[in-house]
Amino acid sequence: MIRLDHVTVTYSGATSPALRDVDVSVAEGELCLVVGPTGAGKSTLLRAVSGLVPHFSGGTLAGRVLVDGRDTREHRPRDLADLVGVVLQDPARGFVTETVEDELAYAMEQLGLPPAAMRVRMEEVLDLLGLAGLRDASLRDLSGGEQQRAAIGAVLTAHPRVLVLDEPTSALDPPAADDVLAALTRLVHDHGMTVLLAEHRLERVVQYADRVLAVAPDGTVREGRAADLLEPGASAPPLVELAQVAGWRPVPLSVRDARRRVTALRGRLAALPPTVTDAPPAGGAPALTARGMHVRYRRAHAVRGVDLDLDAGTVTALMGRNGAGKSSLLWALAGAGPRSAGSVAVRREGRDGGDPAALVPARARELVALVPQDPMDLVYLSSVADECAAGDRQAGAPPGTCAALLARLAGPVPDDAHPRDLSEGQRLALVLAVQLAARPSVLLLDEPTRGLDYAAKRALAAILAGHAAGGGAVLLSSHDVEFVAQCAERVVVLADGEVVTDGSARDVLVASPTFAPQVAKVMHPLPLLTVDEVRAALAVAG
């Protein structure tokens, strides 16, 4: 169905190719997963299949790309619209119209389908993706998962035979990601669709893949079965690492497969006394004390009477479904968002710093720093160096502080690069550096893991641990259970603006059906959350 014949892609002005001599093919009806670290040409590979590379992006393509016999040399992306459906990263940015129904009709109108056929296809696609109840809804008001399904619907109405998706689940919470994946597998199994899908967050997707294309940083691509190609390291889900620790071959790709194999391992570990104990909660005065926090927007109550203490030296995760009030609470704690009732007191360097909402912004950020959901909102200059220099000035820090922090967080970042040309991980590091330059006591992060690959997440976890070790407190909101299991000691779950659970990460995560990480699901009932803990336990067991 898709054939890449010795394809090499070089962008104009680039010194090395983004894809190097790629020679792979995907058969009809396969679900093919494209994996690889950030910056290795995953998106380039997807865009070459749709013709966007090089027709849209410019650059040089050597070799041939054939989709169902059509050569992209002679077919521009628009000429492939009835054959290849493409859903780009962040679908909300690709919407042309205002309502779901108009958006689904858009591709059909461009193809010039007769009105009667359009009506039929519209109803089919609405039903197939469970969008019928949302047909008149405004695209802006949809949740992330609904937007993703609407974007898939918007290309399905053209009846493509190949579907290409760039990170369709990386920005979604677990239930929404499951909805999208269920829709995709239905398309593959019931309708014979060929699906090509790039993804960072493999733990959910990999079990559905028939084939994996692994893109290396140098632009070469290997193809094979998921169980053979995924190696522990930069881009592997927890199950793969667990398999390595436990010595399982072939690698189990779903929790179900792993549970069948785990009995022996679990038996070995269960016989031991509990090896992992959580450190007792740090004593002393909490870094942040919030009482009776209430946030109201006109009629809607986003946060209702939340009491929260953040201890110095701990990383706390704030979890809950979309709309549970996580962002509102973070903004209110930082003193930068609306707060209709309640009080916040922050201690900095052993002294009572006061309530950030009562201080001028320049003082408030020394108490509480917030990294918002879109970190780029904080960045407004046109080069990394300018941004760092401004960051030092505004924080009153000695020149070079920001740049040094950035180098520590993200490694070398070119000084003259435009902040928008950085990878997601580097962008987050830049904003963290700017915010940490003021040496805040409490660090708040709103959904920091969106779009990060495993390596970037590990780096972020180390940064957060470092801030906590330095006597600060960290509160982050996240849907990413694997990341929370890796970095947080305490989990607070919000629902409908109220705290429903507050406890150690282990107690909360192991017990929860939605928030349990893969390792906990496999090792249940043993209270182990991460591969590292399993490894440590095994070391004790000998």
Partner 1 sequence: MHPAAWWVWAAGVVALAGRTTSPAVLGLLVAATLVLAGLGRRPGAPPFSGYLVLGLGIVVVRVVFYVLVGLKVPDGQVLVDLPSWQPPWAPGVELLGPVTAAGLARAALGGLALAVMVLAVGAAATASSPSRLLRSVPPALHHLATAAAIAVAVAPSLVRATGAARRARRLRGLPDRGPRALAETALPVLADALDRAVDLAASMDVRGYARRSGRADPRALPALVAALLASAVGLYGLLTGDPAYAVPALAAAVGLGTAGGLLAARGARRTRYRPDPWRGREWLAAGAGAIGLVGAVAGGPPVVLAAVVLAGLGALVPAPLPAEVSA
Partner 2 sequence: MTAPAGRSGPGRAAAVRLGRWSVVALVLASAVGLAAFGWPLLVNPEAGLAHATDAPLVLGVVVAGVLLVVHLALADGGMDVKAVALLGLLAAVGAALRPLSAGAAGVELVFTVLVLGGRVLGPGFGFALGATTLATSALLTGGVGPWLPFQMLGAAWVGLGAGLLPRRPRGSAELVMLAGYGALASLAFGLAMNLSFWPFTLGSDTALSFVPGAPLGDNLRRLAAFTVATSLGWDVGRAVTTAVGVALVGAPVLRLLRRTAARAAFVPAVFVTDRTAEHVADGSADRVPERVVDRSADRSTERPATGEPLPR
Q: Which position has the token pair 């559905």?
A: 208
Label residue 140 exposed, middle or buried (CB < 10 Å: 0-12, 13-18, 19+): exposed
Does 82 bind partner 1 (CB under 8 A)? Our answer is yes
Site for partner 1 in 421-480 (CB under 8 A): 434-435, 438
Position 111 contacts partner 1 (CB under 8 A): yes
Nearest to 104, CA basis, from 155, 142, 163: 155
Q: Does 98 bind partner 1 (CB under 8 A)?
A: yes
Q: How far is the CB of 64 from partner 2 (least distance, A)?
A: 8
Query: What region does 332 belong to: left with phi over 0, alpha with psi -120 to 50, or beta?
Result: alpha
425 close to 456: Cβ distance less than 8 angstroms? yes
Residue 359, both tokens:
């201080």
Member of 192, 382, 400, 462 binding partner 2 (CB under 8 A): 382
* Total residues interacting with partner 1, rule: CB under 8 A: 69
Residue type, 344: V
- Asked if 496 interacts with partner 1 (CB under 8 A), we say no
Q: Does 39 bind partner 2 (CB under 8 A)?
A: yes
**Shortest Å, Cβ 415 to partner 1:** 19
Per rule CB under 8 A, is residue 61 in the interface with partner 2?
A: yes
Closer to partner 2 by Cβ: residue 260 or 420:
420
Kindly tell me which of 198 and 499 has the beta carbon lying closer to partner 1: 198
Contact in structure between 436 and 423 (CB atoms under 8 Å) = no
12 binds partner 2 (CB under 8 A): yes
Q: Which x/- pattern, by CB under 8 A, does the window 130-169 give for partner 1?
A: ----------x-------------xx--x-----------
- Near partner 1 in 195-224, by CB under 8 A: none
- Residue 217's binding partner, choosing from partner 1, partner 2, none, with beta-carbon cut-off 5 to 8 A by kind? none
User: From the list partner 1, partner 2, none, which binds 231 (C-beta under 5 to 8 Å, kind-based)?
Assistant: none
Among 3, 55, 200, 506, binds partner 2 (CB under 8 A): 55
- 267 to 326, contacts with partner 1 by CB under 8 A? none
From the CB of 482, what's the least distance to partner 2, in Å?
A: 24
Q: Which is nearer to partner 2, 89 or 514 (CB)?
A: 89
Would you state the structure tokens that stand for residue 399, as one six-digit string? 């020149």
The span of 123-131, 270-278, 342-350, 391-399 binding partner 1 (CB under 8 A) equals: 391-399
The residue from 39, 94, 130, 323 that contacts partner 1 (CB under 8 A) is 94
Binds partner 1 by CB under 8 A, chosen from 13, 15, 74, 115 = 115
For position 78 contacting partner 1 by CB under 8 A, the verdict is yes
* Residue 1 interface partner, choices partner 2, partner 1, none, CB cut-off 5-8 Å depending on type: none
249 binds, among partner 2, partner 1, none (CB under 5 to 8 A by kind): none
Which of 28, 109, 352, 415 binds partner 1 (CB under 8 A)? It is 109
φ, ψ at 72 (rounded to 5°): -70, -10
Q: CB under 8 Å to 122, separation ≥6 — which residues?
A: 101, 104, 105, 108, 157
Query: Which structure tokens are listed for 411?
Result: 């490694």
Cα(first)–Cα(last) distance of the chain, in Å? 50
Q: Does 421 bind partner 2 (CB under 8 A)?
A: yes
Q: Is the Cβ–Cβ distance between 99 and 139 less than 8 Å?
A: yes
Q: Does 76 bind partner 1 (CB under 8 A)?
A: yes
Q: In the complex with partner 1, which residue's Cβ is closer, 379 or 459?
A: 379
Q: Closest distance between partner 1 and the C-beta of residue 50, in Å?
A: 5
Contacts of residue 34, defined as CB under 8 A and 6 or more positions apart, other chains included, come to 42, 45, 46, 196, 197, 198, 199, 212, 213, 215
Between 57 and 143, CB nearer to partner 2: 57
Angle formed by the axes of helices 424-436 and 384-395, nearest 10°: 20
Interface residue with partner 1 among 376, 455, 495, 536 (CB under 8 A) is 376
Q: Which does 84 bind (CB under 5 to 8 A by kind): partner 1, partner 2, none?
A: partner 1
Separation between Cα atoms, residue 444 and residue 446, nearest integer Å: 7
Confirm if 136 and 163 have CB atoms less than 8 A apart: no
Among 24, 29, 62, 408, which residue sits at the site for partner 2 (rule: CB under 8 A)?
62
Please choose, from the candidates 234, 207, 244, the residue with its C-alpha nearest in 3D space to the C-alpha of residue 453.
Answer: 234
């993706």: which residue's tokens? 129
Place of tokens 């369709």: 168
- Contact, 29 vs 161, CB < 8 A? no
| Cβ-Cβ contacts under 8 Å for 177 (sequence gap 6 or more) | 145, 169, 201, 204
Establish if 10 lies at the interface with partner 2 (CB under 8 A).
yes
238-243: list long-range contacts, CB under 8 Å, 24+ apart.
238/203, 238/482, 238/517, 238/518, 238/519, 238/530, 238/531, 239/203, 239/206, 239/518, 239/519, 239/522, 241/531, 242/518, 242/519, 242/522, 242/531, 242/534
Alpha helix segments (H runs only) across 470-517: 481-487, 505-511
Please write down the long-range contacts of 344-351, taking CB distance under 8 Å and 24 or more positions apart: 344/288, 344/289, 344/290, 344/293, 344/368, 345/288, 345/289, 345/290, 346/287, 346/288, 346/289, 346/441, 346/442, 347/285, 347/286, 347/287, 347/288, 347/312, 347/441, 348/440, 348/441, 349/441
Q: How far is the CB of 48 from partner 1 (least distance, A)?
A: 13
Residue with Cβ nearer partner 2 (21 or 309): 21
Binding residues vs partner 1 (CB under 8 A): 50-52, 55-56, 76-82, 84-86, 88, 90, 93-98, 101-102, 105-115, 118-119, 122, 140, 154-155, 158, 331, 334, 336-337, 360-365, 369-370, 372, 374, 376-380, 391, 394-395, 420, 434-435, 438
Binding residues vs partner 2 (CB under 8 A): 5-6, 8, 10-18, 20-21, 38-39, 41-44, 54-63, 70, 73-76, 78-79, 380-382, 417-418, 420-421
